[in-house]
Structure 1
Amino acid sequence: MYERIHLNQHWKVTGIGPEGNEIGPFEATVPGHVHIDLLKQGLIPDPMWRDQALHTQWIETYSWMYETEFHWPETYERGPAVLRFEGLDTIACIEVNGEVVGTADNMFISHSFPIGQALVAGTNRVRVHFTSVSTYLKDKEVNKYMSLFSQDRVFLRKMQCTFGWDWVHRLVSYGIWRPVYVESKPEGEIGSTFVRTLGLDGDTATLSWGTEALSRTGNGCLHVELLDGHGKIIWEQTEQIHDVGRIGFEGQFTVDHPNLWWPVGYGAPNLYHFRVRLLSEHGRTMDEKTEEIGIRTFEVEQIPDPQGESFTILVNGIRVFAKGGNWVPADPFPSRVTKGRYEHLLQVLVDGNMNMLRVWGGGTYELPEFWRACNRLGIMVSVDFMMACAQYPEHESWFEHAMRIEVEHAIKELRNHPSLVLWSGDNELAMNSNSEDDYWGKHICEQVTAPLCAQWDPTRPFFPTSPYLGRPFNSQDEGDCHYSSWYDMEFILGDQLDYRERIRQGRGRFLSECVSFGAPPMSSLLKMMTMEDIADESAEMWEFHTKDNPYNGQDELTHHRMLEKTANALFGPNLDPFMRTKKLEYVQYEFSRLQAEHYRRRKYASSGILFWMYNDCWPASGHAMIDYHGLPKAGYYGAKKAFTPVMISFEDHGRELAVWMVNDTLEDREGQITIKSMTTDGQEVSETHLCASVPANSSAMIRKMDKGDLGLLHSPANTVVQGIWREGGTVERVTYFDVLPVELKLPLSDLMVNWVADDPFSGVIEMSSAVYARVVSIDEELILEDNYFDLMPGETRSVKYRTISGTFEKHPRVTCWNMLENR
């Protein structure tokens, strides 16, 4: 009979310092990390506040001993019992009743240790001893390999950004970071299982399946079945077992009229369940496993053209424009990321009209709750194997062996998720190399990642590295690229006044990283620093929570000063810390929106843009679109506007203004376009009405309009143009002015705000202004339908909201840049 005892409670932890001094024992959280428990005990300050992370660095110099006890009943079989840790972070020795049963040296894999010989009926004691990083590295040649941000990290199979990056402080921790349990399966067990979609032919899908099983009885059978979304069995098969030992089963079957899995915006993300049961000869279940799957195909279309070669994801044979961001660990201590936190971040992604994430190679392969949410929400995910921005010891046998185990484990654990669209060998190890070069990561690719993907997941696309293809890798003409019009040092060190033209010059085929930089909202800043810190001209705390990249080709400006320079150049300097912060926020909105609009107009000459980054790992100012606390930043709302399924945008053509429509849906769309030109103080200049048809899954220039007719040539500094797309009840807007933002003449606005609560958790905020209201922002911790938008003179805008947590029962604070009273 199958038995399992969970060991996620009643742990104690003790720290042992370099000199043998001890701290503890005290209660330990499992799954968890030692930083979390030290904070609970009041033994460290909160490392997220100001520069207090500096006062927690001693933790990594300690070794940590976790201990617990459990009861094993006399009636349970001890022989086949195993102690399974789904995740240990990282270098660990495991004892049961004083006997060493195993060791661990990889955070990214599970560990199973046979304990039948050490186990006793009654009380059993488990110890997990984590070795400090410094102790583990004492016989390593730490400076042998080039590694960005820290030299020591390449020797440990541990979350790489925990050693510090240009967006997170170094916070090296230890712990049993995933669930742990003891189990015994005396009659047999089911191993790795896969289901693949081999092809779609009309109304029929062909699937292959396979599973590994261990039989300890030599009889019985394996029963496999496919269940639809309602739990109905639509296919099943039974395989007889005649031998003791490990057995592999494989087969193929077809499904008529399948409900396909589609990415959000292209159809429903339909799910099936593939259930495998190991049955005794009398029909009793000895072990069972169920995998959540989707019926779909993935390809990457690469067609030569005059520019180079396209790079487009095909789902079920349909081209998909990828819109989204790069996912990094949502906490420096990944055990702290709950199911609710995952679901919030991923729902906000979908609400932002995005359909894809790239799991970056300096983090983790993410927990099952992440993948289940992506499957359910229709989010496409690409995954880097966990190597980033470094020269790894790939020719050393221990490293190749470790990677072989890790990569096979990751593939088998993730391959059934319908959301997983492609694998990449690493992040930026081969940046600016050519295919014939002996680039970093090439040996591991040729010997480990490529052959293992071909062996264990042959129907899913694999690329050796990211960025990849072109001469050199990171070309805008083929493959994927890591490119941003803002994060370009020539642009940063210049006057930046040509930023719109620079954006229009971008031609990347698939931007798997596109930097968009900005400050978080004031409420989030005040969770990491004081108001005095925010106003401090030395920007000490800003710098601490922004970090910098010493490898970006210039030493003149830090990341924070780069952002500040852009805000001053485009929007004008401001001595008031509130308004200065508003402009630091809006840089990200401007670049997110304009870059997303540009690349979508190029559809499918360009086929995707994934912003760097989507989420944040700790309280920070900088890259992320969603801050550490789960609150969308300005850049999120800029991208959301530009990622709307049917988008209207303007493109500057000298003396003409082009009106564009982009349709990401799979249906032709017909609607009405209104082009309205007004002065900022409310005088109407012109109004034009157009009927437009936009073919499915395409972009189209609808019309070029003479700027003279729009008033943009006569008085450009006080003239704004709005484009409105109407289709049924759908309304999409875009605004344009011909001068630099800092040159726009803004009258004072008497912004009017009305608030209607539907319930304590949701409602509508209504705003209007008699004159042009620049950058209207709702300054509350809410998830909003829209934010950081401009209001045309006389326009009324209604914005729905919902709370992140708790209730909202006060009049919302709403501001705009040219408000009569901006405080």
Structure 2
Amino acid sequence: MTASVRPLHDGWTLRAEPGPDVPAELIGVAVPATVPGCVHTDLLAAGLIPDPYLDANETALSWIGRTDWTYETSFDWAGADTERVDLVCAGLDTVATVLLNDVELGRTANMHRGWRYDVRATLRPGRNVLRVRFGSAYRYAEAMRDRLGDRPNAYPEPFNFIRKMACNFGWDWGPNLVTAGIWQPISVHCWDTARLAEVRPLVTVEEGRGRVAVHVRLDRAGDGPVRVAAALTGAPDGPAEAAVTVPAGERTAVLDLTVADPELWWPRGYGGQPRYPLAVTLHDTDADAADADPDADPDAAADADAGGGGSGELDRVDRLIGFRTVSLETTPDALGTPFTLVVNGRPVFVRGANWIPDDAFPTRVTRERYARRLDQAVGANLNLLRVWGGGRYESDDFYDLADSLGLLVQQDFLFACAAYPEEGPFPAEVAAEAREQVARLAGHPSLVLWTGCNENIWGFHDWDWRAPLAGRSWGEGYYLDLLPGIVAELDPTVPYWPGSPWSGRADLHPNDPGHGTMHIWDVWNDDDYTKYRQYVPRFAAEFGWQAPPAYATLRRALSDEPLAHDSPGMAHHQKAIDGDRKLQRGLDAHLPAPRDFDDWHYLTQVVQARAVACGIEHFRAHRPVCMGTIMWQLNDCWPVTSWSAVDGDGRRKPLWYALRRSYADRLLTVQPHEGGLVVVAVNETATPWAAEVALVRLTLDGEPRAKASLPARVPAYSAVALPVPTDLADPERPRNELLLADAESAGAARRGEAGDAERALWFFAEDRDLEWPVADYTAEVDRVTGGYRVRVNARTLLRDLTLLPDRLDPGATVDDALRTLLPGETATFTVSTSATLDPAALVTRPVLRCINDIR
């Protein structure tokens, strides 16, 4: 018979075990539970706790993570005529005891792997009771810490002593909401003879020929021979098929499929993303032989044997795979050690962002939500997401969407910002989760890099860990031995890098800008963002700047009246050490002083956008010495002041629009180099870019002072620097002049489309010091299908013109932001909304803003 799966997602209840912090109204109460889910979401759905994301509710709910919980359901069972009946727990968070009919099946302490129990003898006809008891993750982690000896970490929480999503314990952007629950599907699996325990398609391409080595691992109920078949369809020369008999007692097999001249899968912007269906089936050879009936047809048995067909199908796995090669170019050169991602033989400049869990409660992140967020990544011209090591191994939906969109993925193993013990039980758990996750994700063309940890090797070198460690283990064996060995064994088609950052050799400082990958955090922590220009890393894997979320997000989450940068809710939703002081430092260095909260909110968002754009454009201008940037961070998991481009409610900050420009395929940027100003034209396309760059030094009133035209001939996938003539680089009145560079092939200025990526501006003084004209403009508002069109005509220079329609309708969005207009230019904004908005409010403060309306 074919295997059958019976989900067990209905009828669950949740109870708090007695404890000193459990509210009286919850003692002995059975709360309806959603599975998959977690305690917090169940209590919230039952109206028993306030929303943890609002105000300071997070603090009042800390008791949940220190409480034991029991999930319970019952189901009827009529028996099964199969050799095996398994209870399959795809994910338990985290310290769990699983009981069926009061028989203990097992104990778990790892959120990042699945569990399977043979329950055929434990099930009984009629009603069966399944319980999963969750012990406090805090109590487990603290007990491990006490037993093994403390280890340093970035936060005063024991997240490094439990295999659980680390950011549940709070981060400098995340809430402390220590979850428990059945967070992945749970089911009963009935099967006979054998099942496909693991299917690992390893895809390679060599000399135009594609190969899929399908590695299969079996779980057996008996020792008889079975047959495994694999079929790859969609290839131009027809399906590729293979079948093998796995002899009695053996549990592994490899099936080779070859495709001549397969269509290659490419990162977005480099080509298409074709994928091929792969079907792997498991067959009972005895049933196949009987079905073939060789007495009736002498050839039937041979045909069934070759194709693995017949009614004896025992199990089946269907996947979509893509043909691509990936490698890292790290051969030392005259400047150090490069770090270049190479896909299908093409060096790829990474335009990336770091990805954190999109919700503190992962089961709330549906496929539709993943699709929205990854569409936002594509819309910002990203080509890579790095799944950060303090979260989770991302879901099948995430990877399937990334495959379809051509978004590259760097997946960290789950170690972040701490020293991790290497004593038992942790090495065995780490190995088990790594093996499961590497096998699960094998064959996804989007996955191009496994990384051992986030900042832990750097932390050991620079964060004063050695004295408190006193010789105790800290995780080095995981990153340099255990994990690379598992990747090399299970999926050698994907490169491995021990850490982010890492310089490639143990004798180099792990965060050396001349070698490998680098994190740049001294800028946000201590300096002005222009310090990014002091670094030319080979690969900038983390850097960023904070800003508050959208106004509508703040108003939903906070009850502060009035809102202020330091009002109680705002302060609680700022998790970074000295975060407000650092935001203020960024304002003081560049912008006029805000008069009120509306100014502060807009200006801090502008500084964030400028800071990250400053770093990205500087690094891109140094292509190919630097071959990638991964800004921190794309998304948020709750409403918070953070480094994200998309806030916790999914709204795009001004930074998102800055990313779209700075990460554009073709970019024009003005940069200060040692010999003076240069205009750098960056071409990240397969087509050479020929343009005349028109340079104008002009006053803030729009009066030209000097002009020049520079021919730009930029080969494919390269950058060219054009020195700015001295008479354009040296202003007569720095506080009243700027430099405009416009690639005439785009014609952006003539179309009035200021802010285009093929147009660049350079101001000779900071905004706080410029002789700004009073902002003067006219505006027209037209109702259009799906919202409004707002047309702004500048009478004076308007810098970083931004429309914030969520102040009028929380559901409203706008298509552009941070537009700088010269006198006489026009910008058109399209506002998408189903609400009726006040046209006058759309074009006045605080909805329509520019820098020089502060004066």
Fold match by TM threshold 0.5? yes
SS state at 1:222 partner: strand
Closer, same or farther: CA 794–133 of 1 in aligned 2, 3 Å:
same
Give the Å deviation of 1:100. Answer: 1.5
Tell me the distance in 2 between the aligned counterparts of 1:378 and 1:385: 22
Tell me the distance in 1 between the aligned counterparts of 2:674 and 2:227: 73
Closer, same or farther: CA 532–561 of 1 in aligned 2, 3 Å:
farther
Alignment counterpart, residue 849 of structure 2, candidates 778, 795, 816: 816
Tell me the distance in 2 between the aligned counterparts of 1:748 and 1:93: 68
Matches within 5 A, 1:42-441: 42-74=47-79, 76-77=80-81, 79-137=83-141, 139-142=143-146, 144-201=150-207, 203-214=208-219, 216=221, 218-219=224-225, 221-228=227-234, 234-243=239-248, 245-280=249-284, 281=288, 282=291, 283-284=310-311, 285-394=313-422, 396-431=423-458, 440-441=474-475
Quote the residue 1:457 is aligned against: 491
Q: Tell me, yes or no, if the aligned pair for 1:45 and 1:55 is still in contact at 8 Å.
A: no
Letter in structure 1 aligned against 2:597? P
Q: Show CA shifts across 1:307-338 (max 9, x none).
A: 21111100011010111211111111111111
Letter in structure 2 aligned against 1:182? V
Alignment counterpart, residue 473 of structure 1, candidates 487, 510, 514: 510
Letter in structure 2 aligned against 1:790? T
Give the Å deviation of 1:593. Answer: 0.9
Letter in structure 2 aligned against 1:477? G
Q: Tell me, yes or no, if the aligned pair for 1:656 and 1:705 is still in contact at 8 Å.
A: no
Quote the residue 1:504 is aligned against: 533
Closer, same or farther: CA 514–138 of 1 in aligned 2, 3 Å:
closer
Give the Å deviation of 1:131. Answer: 0.8
Tell me the distance in 1 between the aligned counterparts of 2:790 and 2:75: 55
Q: Show CA shifts across 1:542-569 (max 9, x none).
A: 33212134xxxxxxxx012111121122
Tell me the distance in 2 between the aligned counterparts of 1:653 and 1:564: 28
Q: Tell me, yes or no, if the aligned pair for 2:518 and 2:540 is still in contact at 8 Å.
A: yes
Quote the residue 1:791 is aligned against: 821
Q: Show CA shifts across 1:164-221 (max 9, x none).
A: 11111211111111111111012431121122233331x3233322212345573553
What fraction of aligned residue pairs are identical, expressed as a percent? 28
Tell me the distance in 2 between the aligned counterparts of 1:166 and 1:247: 46
Q: Tell me, yes or no, if the aligned pair for 1:432 and 1:472 is still in contact at 8 Å.
A: no
| Segment of structure 1 superposing worse, 594-603 or 280-289 | 280-289
SS state at 2:40 partner: helix
Matches within 5 A, 1:755-794: 755=781, 759-760=785-786, 764-781=789-806, 784-794=814-824
Q: Tell me, yes or no, if the aligned pair for 2:197 and 2:217 is still in contact at 8 Å.
A: yes
- Number of residue equivalences: 794
Closer, same or farther: CA 602–236 of 1 in aligned 2, 3 Å:
same
Give the Å deviation of 1:802. Answer: 5.2
Tell me the distance in 2 between the aligned counterparts of 1:457 and 1:637: 37
Letter in structure 2 aligned against 1:416? G
Q: CA RMSD in A?
A: 2.6
Give the Å deviation of 1:799. Answer: 4.1
Tell me the distance in 2 between the aligned counterparts of 1:562 and 1:764: 37
Q: Tell me, yes or no, if the aligned pair for 2:544 and 2:611 is still in contact at 8 Å.
A: no
Q: Tell me, yes or no, if the aligned pair for 1:619 and 1:627 is still in contact at 8 Å.
A: yes
Quote the residue 1:36 is aligned against: 41
Tell me the distance in 2 between the aligned counterparts of 1:412 and 1:98: 33
Closer, same or farther: CA 296–756 of 1 in aligned 2, 3 Å:
farther
Tell me the distance in 2 between the aligned counterparts of 1:23 and 1:641: 56
Q: Show CA shifts across 1:384-424 (max 9, x none).
A: 11111111111x12111111111111111112211111111
Give the Å deviation of 1:252. Answer: 3.2
Tell me the distance in 2 between the aligned counterparts of 1:139 and 1:503: 43
Letter in structure 1 aligned against 2:448? V
Q: Which runs of 5+ in 1 are unaligned?
A: 550-557
Give the Å deviation of 1:229. Answer: 8.2
Q: Tell me, yes or no, if the aligned pair for 1:748 and 1:818 is still in contact at 8 Å.
A: no
Letter in structure 2 aligned against 1:774? R
Alignment counterpart, residue 717 of structure 1, candidates 722, 735, 740: 735
Q: Tell me, yes or no, if the aligned pair for 1:764 and 1:799 is still in contact at 8 Å.
A: yes
| Segment of structure 1 superposing worse, 783-792 or 299-308 | 783-792
Q: Tell me, yes or no, if the aligned pair for 2:819 and 2:827 is still in contact at 8 Å.
A: no
Tell me the distance in 2 between the aligned counterparts of 1:138 and 1:329: 24
TM-score for both structures, normalised by structure 2 = 0.88
Closer, same or farther: CA 302–784 of 1 in aligned 2, 3 Å:
farther
Letter in structure 2 aligned against 1:12? T
Tell me the distance in 2 between the aligned counterparts of 1:462 and 1:422: 6
Tell me the distance in 1 between the aligned counterparts of 2:132 and 2:702: 70
Closer, same or farther: CA 423–739 of 1 in aligned 2, 3 Å:
same
Quote the residue 2:633 is aligned against: 613
SS state at 2:174 partner: coil
Tell me the distance in 1 between the aligned counterparts of 2:525 and 2:142: 39
Give the Å deviation of 1:695. Answer: 0.4
Letter in structure 2 aligned against 1:319? P
Q: Tell me, yes or no, if the aligned pair for 1:84 and 1:180 is still in contact at 8 Å.
A: yes
Give the Å deviation of 1:295. Answer: 0.6
Tell me the distance in 2 between the aligned counterparts of 1:565 and 1:151: 29
Closer, same or farther: CA 809–816 of 1 in aligned 2, 3 Å:
closer
SS state at 2:776 partner: coil
Q: Show CA shifts across 1:18-69 (max 9, x none).
A: 2487252111111111111111222111111111111111111211111112
Matches within 5 A, 1:743-754: 743-754=769-780
SS state at 2:536 partner: coil
Give the Å deviation of 1:749. Answer: 2.3
Q: Show CA shifts across 1:642-676 (max 9, x none).
A: 11001011123589532210011122122343334
Letter in structure 1 aligned against 2:439? K
Give the Å deviation of 1:14. Answer: 0.8
Tell me the distance in 2 between the aligned counterparts of 1:798 and 1:662: 26
Closer, same or farther: CA 131–777 of 1 in aligned 2, 3 Å:
same
Alignment counterpart, residue 682 of structure 1, candidates 702, 705, 708: 702
Letter in structure 1 aligned against 2:43? L
Tell me the distance in 1 between the aligned counterparts of 2:192 and 2:82: 9
Tell me the distance in 2 between the aligned counterparts of 1:463 and 1:205: 26
Q: Show CA shifts across 1:735-784 (max 9, x none).
A: 21111121122212233344556532x77543321111122112024554
1:516 aligns with 2:545: yes
Tell me the distance in 2 between the aligned counterparts of 1:533 and 1:162: 30
| Segment of structure 1 superposing worse, 399-408 or 718-727 | 718-727
Q: Tell me, yes or no, if the aligned pair for 2:246 and 2:253 is still in contact at 8 Å.
A: no
Tell me the distance in 2 between the aligned counterparts of 1:744 and 1:821: 12
Give the Å deviation of 1:348. Answer: 0.5
Letter in structure 2 aligned against 1:250? V
Tell me the distance in 1 between the aligned counterparts of 2:48 and 2:235: 49
Q: Tell me, yes or no, if the aligned pair for 1:6 and 1:182 is still in contact at 8 Å.
A: yes
TM-score for both structures, normalised by structure 1 = 0.91
Quote the residue 2:303 is aligned against: none
| Segment of structure 1 superposing worse, 95-104 or 602-611 | 95-104
Letter in structure 2 aligned against 1:71? D
| Segment of structure 1 superposing worse, 23-32 or 359-368 | 23-32
1:573 aligns with 2:593: yes
Letter in structure 2 aligned against 1:189? R
Closer, same or farther: CA 59–197 of 1 in aligned 2, 3 Å:
same
SS state at 1:17 partner: coil
Q: Show CA shifts across 1:502-547 (max 9, x none).
A: 22211111111112222222222222224535326x4443332121
Give the Å deviation of 1:275. Answer: 1.0
Quote the residue 1:582 is aligned against: 602
Q: Tell me, yes or no, if the aligned pair for 1:533 and 1:542 is still in contact at 8 Å.
A: no
Quote the residue 2:298 is aligned against: none
SS state at 2:417 partner: coil
Q: Show CA shifts across 1:571-610 (max 9, x none).
A: 0222311011111111111111111111001111001111
Tell me the distance in 2 between the aligned counterparts of 1:289 and 1:586: 49
